[in-house]
A and B are shown apart, each in its own frame.
Chain A
Amino acid sequence: MTFWLVVVGMLAVTFGSRYGGLALRAELPAFWVRFLHFVPIAVFAALVTPALEGPRHEWGIRLAAAGLAALAAWRTKQLWVAIAVGMVAFWLLRLPL
């Protein structure tokens, strides 16, 4: 029973966070309009760097793979191409030679 109570609490705070931002509809001052322009840039960068390092002292090849993926993203603007280039590079580089 406690489990389901906790799930309701988790659902409430998660849905609340997701709905709160979407429901906020106000005319914003220019400063905050510019602020919002930078939200995806700041957030995406924040989602990249902590996860890039990886668990097993492979940061060198993970960084190299990320560099190639960034290049592919810049050239093709295709999400799947960038991911494929990065992952293939990563798997090739980590092969024991």
Chain B
Amino acid sequence: MARARIQSPFGLGFRAMAPLWLGVIPFGLAYAVTAREVGLSVLETQALSALVFAGSAQVSAAGLFGAGAGGLEIVLTTLLLNVRHVLYGVSLARRTPLTRRQRPVAAYFLTDEAFGVVTAANDRRFAFLLGAELSLFVTWNLATFGGALLGAAIPDPEQIGVDLIFPLAFLALLVPLVRTRADLSVAAASGALAYLLSRELPGGLPILVTGMVGSLLGAWLTRRQPPDTSFHADDAAREVA
């Protein structure tokens, strides 16, 4: 019976996300400590994790609350940091067929990590997507709760170096996707562009801009290819995670 549960698409998705827990927990803790330090209550700290569920936006919001920023400023910053999810949604919707009822559920829990893991896995079922999404949601919220209670006794993730897990994970998800010269050109150009942009722009914005520019570059580089082949060949090859 345990075996049957593990083999369910939900369980598979849930487990596919597990390698990222180690990277998420210290950040959930760090976010909660920051939020408590600027004066948010335990309930408010937890509410941001449960209702907004977007790490970089939550940390920024905590900082802005602490600095006494206006509500509009905080909401606009959140939009700026999170609008990249539009790209993920469009990409994901072509891969995983969703009914009208499943769509808002899938949307509520969508993250960088879920998009990454589901794109890399060759599994198009809604339950797999939901398993991966909830795997991160539960971990993030438990870490938030722990951090909100424990407070400043927690070590800084950058001190112990676990902030490296996030780029390592996305590098590991990227590598198997790079199969043609155009893929490689897009990956290299995007990496360089995002690095340069990240020195000037806040968190999520370089990802959005790079996602647009890099994908346009790829579509332009492959303009002489027959329309269908590239997409199918590579869907069959997705097998990580």
Q: A10-B78, A41-B214, A44-B173 are in contact. Are A36 and B90 (CB under 8 A)?
A: yes
By a CB distance below 8 angstroms, the chain A residues around B86 are 17, 20-21
A96 at the interface (CB under 8 A from B): no
Other A-B pairs beyond A14-B54, A22-B89, A22-B103, 12, CB < 8 Å: A19-B104, A21-B86, A22-B107, A23-B107, A38-B217, A41-B174, A41-B183, A42-B218, A45-B190, A49-B191, A83-B168, A87-B162
Q: Which of B97-118 contact A (CB under 8 A)?
A: 98, 103-104, 106-108, 110, 112, 115-117
Least CB distance, B37 to chain A, in whole angstroms = 16
| Distance of A4 Cα from B191 Cα, bound (Å) | 37
Q: Interface code B166-208, partner A: CB below 8 Å = 1, 0 otherwise?
A: 1111111111111000110011101111110110000000110
Among B83, B98, B195, B216, the residue within 8 A (CB) of A17 is B83
Q: A10-B48, A86-B168 are in contact. Are A73 and B89 (CB under 8 A)?
A: no
Q: Which of B141-175 contact A (CB under 8 A)?
A: 158, 161-175
Size bin of chain A's contact surface: 35 or more
B138 at the interface (CB under 8 A from A): no
**Is B19 in contact with A24, judged by CB distance below 8 angstroms?**
no
Nearest CB to that of A52 among chain B residues? B167
Least CB distance, B34 to chain A, in whole angstroms = 15
**Is A11 in contact with B92, judged by CB distance below 8 angstroms?**
no
**Is A43 in contact with B87, judged by CB distance below 8 angstroms?**
yes
**Is B89 in contact with A23, judged by CB distance below 8 angstroms?**
yes
By a CB distance below 8 angstroms, the chain B residues around A65 are 164, 168
Q: Interface code A15-42, partner B: CB below 8 Å = 1, 0 otherwise?
A: 1011111111100001111111111111
**Is B218 in contact with A48, judged by CB distance below 8 angstroms?**
no
Sort A-B residue pairs by CB-CB distance and give the 6 closest, nearest first: A21-B89, A42-B214, A38-B218, A50-B198, A82-B172, A46-B194
Among B19, B82, B162, the residue within 8 A (CB) of A13 is B82
Interface size of B in residues (CB-CB distance below 8 Å): 102
By a CB distance below 8 angstroms, the chain A residues around B215 are 35-36, 38-39, 41-42
By a CB distance below 8 angstroms, the chain B residues around A50 are 194-195, 197-198, 206
By a CB distance below 8 angstroms, the chain A residues around B170 are 44, 47-48
By a CB distance below 8 angstroms, the chain B residues around A72 are 172
Q: A79-B117, A79-B120 are in contact. Are A45 and B174 (CB under 8 A)?
A: yes
**Is B52 in contact with A7, judged by CB distance below 8 angstroms?**
yes
**Is B190 in contact with A6, judged by CB distance below 8 angstroms?**
no
| Distance of A55 Cα from B54 Cα, bound (Å) | 22
Nearest CB to that of A47 among chain B residues? B170
| Distance of A77 Cα from B84 Cα, bound (Å) | 26
Q: A7-B48, A22-B103, A24-B89 are in contact. Are A48 and B161 (CB under 8 A)?
A: no
By a CB distance below 8 angstroms, the chain A residues around B103 are 19, 22-23
By a CB distance below 8 angstroms, the chain A residues around B107 are 15, 18-19, 22-23
**Is A21 in contact with B87, judged by CB distance below 8 angstroms?**
yes
